[in-house]
């Protein structure tokens, strides 16, 4: 993965790092190309081997749990469950190269963003979920910022427009990662309270956009540390919604729109009703 140092994102990244009375919020948006370096090729090979090993282990476990006195149909049922649990993923069937490669891209993106932490040893495909539509994703992210006291229209008026210009969001597959165990997050030891991690993968542009927010306990960050960080909500980039999108690698029948800016049927109460 190669990080793209896009200056258009600098003001967004500054605005996504700030303090609230309850926590310190660390956010940002990073964009990478999916051009594989030597380390990425090794990572992809390792992930493929890990998936195969887990599948074989699950299959052996299902066979050991299958009652010996039952017929072959019952044994087949247990084996089918193991196959489903291993192969079924938000990226598609993991016996397909495209699904395994997409999973590897996200792991490589996380590793590139956190070079001192290896996500390939902790995360499974089941730790991610596929987001079907762009509009709810945007509204949820905007609602999170609003609840944290961010005036989106003033402080982040062009965030989504900027990201869309780089990623073509309507042609992205969207994935979310929310660790159930904070020990699987590199910020777990720094008082992580909550986190939001979104990935926008555009197969044709060969890019992955990593958008994230983390709430860290103020007990782990002194006022001196915060002032030395030099970050604040001082810029003017980012915000608002648009329409649903469909992924490239799936055959789901999603609702489509030719424009990301209009033709929505959401009323004013839609944004207020979104859950964070």
The 10s digit of each residue's pLDDT in 107-118 is: 999 988 988 888
Contact 114, 210 (CB under 8 A): no
The residue with greater pLDDT, 247 or 76, is 76
> How high is the pLDDT of residue 234?
35
Do β-strands 17-19 and 23-33 pair in parallel, antiparallel, or remain unpaired?
antiparallel
At residue 169, the pLDDT reads 97
Of the chain, the percentage scoring pLDDT greater than 90 comes to: 39
What is the pLDDT at residue 239? 33
pTM of the model: 0.72
Q: Is the pLDDT of residue 30 over 90?
A: yes
Give the mean pLDDT of 193-199.
92
What average pLDDT does this structure show over 88-95?
Answer: 84
pLDDT of residue 224: 35
Once rounded to an integer, what is the mean pLDDT over residues 11-26? 94
Comparison of pLDDT for 254 and 189, the residue scoring more: 189
pLDDT at site 119: 86
Strands (DSSP E) contained in the chain are 2-3, 17-19, 23-33, 128-131, 173-177, 192-202, 207-217
Q: What is the model's pLDDT at position 250?
A: 36
pLDDT of residue 256: 36
Across the range 61-73, mean pLDDT stands at 60
What is the pLDDT, as a whole number, of residue 86? 58
259 pLDDT more than 90: no
What's the whole-number mean pLDDT along residues 145-156? Answer: 93
pLDDT at res. 175:
97
Contact 87, 55 (CB under 8 A): yes
Mean predicted confidence (pLDDT) in 30-43: 84
CATH number of 2-65+81-217: 3.40.1000.50
**pLDDT grade, residue 70 (50/70/90)?**
low
Sequence-separated (6 or more) residues with CB below 8 Å from residue 90: 125, 128, 129, 130, 175
Domain ranges for the chain: 2-65+81-217
For range 199-219, the mean pLDDT: 93
Residue partners of 276: CB distance under 8 A and separation at least 6: 140, 143, 144, 147
pLDDT band at 50 (very low <50, low <70, confident <90, very high): confident
Share of the chain above pLDDT 70, in %: 65
Name the residue with higher pLDDT: 130 or 62.
Answer: 130
């Amino acid at each position: 993965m190669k990080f793209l140092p896009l200056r258009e994102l600098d003001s967004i990244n500054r605005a996504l790092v700030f303090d609230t009375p309850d926590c310190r919020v660390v956010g940002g948006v990073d964009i990478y190309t999916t051009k594989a370096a030597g380390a990425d090729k090794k990572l992809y090979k390792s992930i493929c081997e890990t998936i195969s090993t887990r599948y074989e282990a699950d299959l052996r476990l299902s066979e050991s749990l299958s009652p010996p006195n039952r017929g072959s149909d019952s044994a087949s049922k247990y084996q089918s469950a193991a196959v489903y649990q291993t192969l079924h993923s938000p990226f598609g069937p993991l016996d397909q190269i495209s699904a395994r490669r997409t999973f590897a891209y996200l792991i490589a993106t996380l590793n590139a963003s956190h070079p001192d932490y290896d996500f390939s040893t902790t995360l499974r495909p089941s730790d991610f979920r596929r987001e079907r539509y762009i509009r709810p994703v945007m509204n949820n992210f905007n609602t999170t910022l609003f609840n944290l006291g961010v005036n989106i229209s003033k402080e982040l008026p062009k965030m989504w427009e900027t990201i869309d210009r780089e990623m073509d969001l309507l042609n992205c597959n969207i994935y979310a990662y929310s660790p159930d165990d904070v020990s699987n997050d590199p910020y777990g030891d720094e008082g992580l309270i909550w986190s939001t991690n979104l990935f926008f993968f555009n197969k044709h542009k060969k890019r992955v956009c990593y958008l994230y927010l983390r709430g860290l306990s103020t007990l782990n960050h002194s006022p001196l540390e915060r002032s030395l960080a030099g970050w604040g909500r001082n810029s003017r980039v980012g915000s608002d919604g648009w329409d649903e999108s469909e992924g490239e690698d799936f055959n789901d029948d999603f609702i489509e729109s030719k424009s990301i800016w209009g033709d929505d049927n959401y009323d004013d109460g839609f944004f207020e009703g979104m859950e964070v």
